[in-house]
Structure 1
């Protein structure tokens, strides 16, 4: 039940992905397979856009890894609660881990550290989100096959990412990182193989690390 409130944005996001995937020229099978295999909304949309734009495999893979790099942090945080599980459980939970599942499960783990089967909470949260994502993707694929191309729904991609960024504009350090990444994108936009995506992401990560380190030193 903890994850239910966080499922509200999952359904429209999944539908948008399904519609946009078809609009960009991906087959329904490939569009759905990405939801099943990757199960990461932002990465799937970025991959679909880069693939149809003719980006190199290196750029596509690097971009997906950069977007999902936060999962390394998630894993490190959850390790203290899940380190006693066998390999199969760890693989399953890592596949089902999303931002929402991580958030609600971490809160649950902190409150129920002595419970033996607390990992089932993450299993339930992750599976609920996974099922909703697959269903909403299928709905999007069906809609994508009947909606006219003239509507230009591929424009929903940048709008989706902008919606994720807007919430961060209230924080000075986050705004500075966004400006730096955006500036790098503009300067390197005409570089070959669309490497501006990797460069802007890398510089943004470096800027975030520097600002975070500086903030910690000031706090101390």
Structure 2
């Protein structure tokens, strides 16, 4: 596959894969947790395998398993999955300026292979918007490593789920492994405000039904970051006005 790419795209693809590689162990932890949980739920092994490939979203997969076990109505299960995955709508909106020129089905493929870490690392690259050589290949380099790592670990968890005891705490290990990525993403005051507000809302709203705490935390983070950016812009404007003031007065005085 790489031989079919241009030299620029090939280098960008490999760069994306290298960029994503430090996060693979965290993703493998989550994949194992999700696979083990599915293997010990009401799902059969074929059903769990199909869910792993088609859904490709560990948080929503884990969220709906208790609902399936409780035999709740399908609309409840779909609503819960939609609430948990609502953040991907925001991720997709963030990618629009970069990939809006692509065909519909290529954008659908990008949306399927997108993920929390992929999106975060892609934004950290600070690509210009619009068509940029190697940008899509860079995204696919990260997405390929992410999808492959997830499926291998998730399927391993499904197959070997009966071997792992429930008290191993793999879910906590996966969460702790993701913390440095979140900390590294705090580049300014607006992102710090967004992370702080999201953390508080997520803790306060943890007991809400349908995992509503997650979308609430996402929207609260967006609001906090936007307000922080607005306040920073206003402060910068006031500083520029203060600095320009004496110069303006001097020009007016003959």
TM-score normalized with structure 2 length? 0.66
- Residue pair 1:43, 1:68 contacting (<8 A) in 2 also: yes
Aligned equivalent of 2:204: 180
Task: Tell me how far apart the structure 2 counterparts of residues 175 and 77 of structure 1 sit (CA, whole Å).
Answer: 21
The 5 Å alignment of 1:1-220 reads: 1-108=18-125, 110=127, 115-147=132-164, 151-152=165-166, 159=172, 172-182=196-206, 185=207, 196-197=209-210, 200=213, 215=228, 218-219=231-232, 220=234
- Residue pair 1:14, 1:136 contacting (<8 A) in 2 also: yes
Using the TM superposition, give the Cα deviation of residue 178 of structure 1 relative to its aligned residue in structure 2, in angstroms.
Answer: 2.9
SS at structure 1 position matched to 2:19: coil
- Residue pair 1:17, 1:140 contacting (<8 A) in 2 also: yes
Q: Sort the Cα spacing of 1:175 and 1:102 in 2 relative to 1 into closer, same or farther, 3 A.
A: closer
Task: Tell me how far apart the structure 2 counterparts of residues 216 and 117 of structure 1 sit (CA, whole Å).
Answer: 30
Task: Tell me how far apart the structure 2 counterparts of residues 92 and 7 of structure 1 sit (CA, whole Å).
Answer: 21
Deviations 1:170-214 (A, max 9, x none): 9653343134313xx3xx7xxxxxxx2355556656655665566
- How many corresponding residue pairs? 205
Task: Tell me how far apart the structure 2 counterparts of residues 208 and 104 of structure 1 sit (CA, whole Å).
Answer: 18
Deviations 1:3-27 (A, max 9, x none): 1112220112111111111112321
> Which structure: larger Rg?
2
Structure 2: which 5+ runs fail to align? 1-17, 183-191, 235-254
Task: Tell me how far apart the structure 1 counterparts of residues 223 and 130 of structure 2 sit (CA, whole Å).
Answer: 34
Q: Sort the Cα spacing of 1:80 and 1:154 in 2 relative to 1 into closer, same or farther, 3 A.
A: same
Aligned equivalent of 2:14: none
TM-score normalized with structure 1 length? 0.75
Q: Sort the Cα spacing of 1:128 and 1:39 in 2 relative to 1 into closer, same or farther, 3 A.
A: same
Task: Tell me how far apart the structure 1 counterparts of residues 33 and 108 of structure 2 sit (CA, whole Å).
Answer: 28
Using the TM superposition, give the Cα deviation of residue 90 of structure 1 relative to its aligned residue in structure 2, in angstroms.
Answer: 0.6
Using the TM superposition, give the Cα deviation of residue 68 of structure 1 relative to its aligned residue in structure 2, in angstroms.
Answer: 1.3
Deviations 1:10-65 (A, max 9, x none): 11211111111111232111111111001111111112232123333222211211
Task: Tell me how far apart the structure 2 counterparts of residues 26 and 81 of structure 1 sit (CA, whole Å).
Answer: 39
Task: Tell me how far apart the structure 2 counterparts of residues 45 and 68 of structure 1 sit (CA, whole Å).
Answer: 12
